[in-house]
Chain A
Amino acid sequence: MTVQPQTTELLPGFEHAAFDSNAVFRVLLDAMSRPGRIYELPLEMASPDGLNATITATLLAMADMDTTIWLSPSCAGKAATDHLKFHCGCPISTDVKQADFAVARIDDDLSFITDLSVGNAEYPDQSATLIIMVDDIANAPSMTLKGPGIKDTHHLEIKNLPESFHAWRAENHHMFPCGVDVIFASPTKIAALSRTTKVEVN
């Protein structure tokens, strides 16, 4: 699925900047408004080494010179950083505290997440968004979600989500209105956990 670049040659970004970024944003908006619902990436997207198509599309749609991106060491290869710098013009920081968007793989050491910015009581929006690259997102009852955006409850399954993630998420939820919002990105699918979402691990 993922297009593997052979050389440092740059891959294309969106075919039509206005339409494509809108389509990706609408999926993100739906996903964040309806935590746990699974949405398909609405377009084909070339992705550099280290990132998958969904994450690439998400960053191209949302990031620019005004947002700082942090990539986990396993994502932060030259191909990925060159691609983002070229298409988004975004600063890429190695200081996770500076991140507006932090990107990692699910099998990475996720201990950095406790350093992500959660905003403050007066400006809880000044927080990071965590994007986790996963293999698959499924509608299965490994997690039961409740909260705004969810009619009664939703189910969500992300394989290999470590226990430490759940512990952090629970704490994150209690910090409301501060907190970090999470986007799960498989090669073709997106689902989100808003900071408002109450997660029961089954």
Chain B
Amino acid sequence: MEHVANNPADGAQAYNFAYLDEQTKRMIRRALLKAVAIPGYQVPFAGREMPMPYGWGTGGVQVTAAVIGPNDTLKVIDQGADDTTNAVSIRQFFAKTANVATTEKTAEASIIQTRHRIPEKELREDQVLVYQVPIPEPLRFLEPRETETRKMHALEEYGLMHVKLYEDIARHGHIATTYAYPVMVDDRYVMDPSPTPKFDNPKMNDMAALQLFGAGREKRIYALPPYTKVKSLDFEDHPFDVQTWEDECGMCGARDSYLDEVILDDKGNRMFVCSDTDYCTERQESGHRGPQHHDQPLGSSQSGKAAE
């Protein structure tokens, strides 16, 4: 048998457009159509083994591969940033296997694949947001068995989840879930929003863009059609709230974005910067300045340049 011509090491030529074969794409596409028709329900799909590890976005990559066409522009973010190594790696994968345009600008992307964040900029109807999901089952940590959780979803039996959240309140005075905070979709399915911080949950509600979720290892796909009601679970006496910071972004001065903490030394000095790098860059470009901004000409921070 001749292997060389089809060896992955030779590059992308031996592979189909966007890596997956057409039959696999059709299987994923059928699952996607069911997913949008049953918002928040986890559709089982025969996830394929991808040339990247499980847990590193194989579900998102398969969804993107099934959705992406030659005229799309792809943006990939991890923790809100385009330049985190895994985001770079996934972007390169599609640049290589699908030869599509890529961008770091939220507004220019037609497909955004994300791990752990929703962009700060409001998404539009002509955009698709693809989430990488590690554990799609919101009830998994309460009940490890799929046979049981499936029944619970079928019977709309979500009491256990409320009990868990309420126990948090009793013990800590707060619901102690800060990310992967469960949501109720269209008053029917409890859904895991993927490990995005709960700060992003309100953005999911009534979003103009289509939201698709892919869990590769767990072999599940789910979706939120545009303009779908997504409500974070809460209690009358403990309404849902999101994270807030006393600080502003050190670079652009934003007070409305999710901030990452940057440790400056081992003496407790720290600053905060926007987790969404495109949002921060755009604000800086339009003249916003935070207290730690270096005020150099923009675009001068070269690859690999060390912090001054």
Interface residues of A (CB under 8 A from B): 17-19, 21-23, 25-26, 28-30, 32-34, 61-67, 100, 120-125, 127, 129, 147-151, 176-177, 179, 181, 194-196
Contact A125 B226 (CB under 8 A): no
A37 to B88, CA, bound (A): 36
A19 touching B225 in the complex, CB below 8 Å, given contacts A64-B26, A177-B38, A181-B37: no
Instruction: Give B227 Cβ to nearest chain A Cβ, in Å.
Output: 5
Contact B37 A151 (CB under 8 A): no
B16 at the interface (CB under 8 A from A): yes
B155 at the interface (CB under 8 A from A): yes
Contact A124 B38 (CB under 8 A): yes
Proximity bits, B18-36, A CB within 8 Å = 1, else 0: 1000110111011111111
Which positions 226-268 of chain B face chain A at CB distance < 8 Å? 226-229
Contact B23 A64 (CB under 8 A): yes
Residues from chain A with Cβ under 8 Å of B43 in the complex? 125
A18 touching B26 in the complex, CB below 8 Å, given contacts A149-B228, A195-B37: no
Q: A interface, by DSSP: helix, strand, loop or mixed?
A: loop
Contact B225 A148 (CB under 8 A): yes
Contact B30 A33 (CB under 8 A): no
| Pairs across A and B, CB under 8 Å, 23 listed | A17-B22, A18-B17, A19-B17, A22-B68, A22-B69, A22-B70, A29-B210, A62-B30, A62-B33, A66-B27, A67-B30, A122-B151, A125-B35, A125-B38, A125-B41, A125-B43, A148-B227, A148-B228, A149-B226, A149-B228, A194-B37, A196-B37, A196-B39
Proximity bits, B64-102, A CB within 8 Å = 1, else 0: 001111100000000000000000000000000000000
Residues from chain A with Cβ under 8 Å of B26 in the complex? 21, 61-64
B150 at the interface (CB under 8 A from A): yes
Residues of B in contact (CB 8 Å), total 43
Contact A149 B22 (CB under 8 A): no
A194, closest chain B residue (CB) = B37
Contact B70 A19 (CB under 8 A): yes
Of the candidates B31, B66, B154, B225, the one whose C-beta lies within 8 Å of that of A33 is B225
A118 to B174, CA, bound (A): 41
Contact B69 A125 (CB under 8 A): no
A23 to B35, CA, bound (A): 19
A26 touching B69 in the complex, CB below 8 Å, given contacts A21-B22, A176-B188, A196-B39: yes
A18, closest chain B residue (CB) = B17
Residues from chain B with Cβ under 8 Å of A127 in the complex? 34
Of the candidates B39, B153, B155, the one whose C-beta lies within 8 Å of that of A148 is B39
B155, closest chain A residue (CB) = A121
Of the candidates B17, B29, B41, B223, the one whose C-beta lies within 8 Å of that of A177 is B41
Contact B31 A122 (CB under 8 A): no
B186 at the interface (CB under 8 A from A): yes
A63, closest chain B residue (CB) = B26
Instruction: Give B193 Cβ to nearest chain A Cβ, in Å.
Output: 16
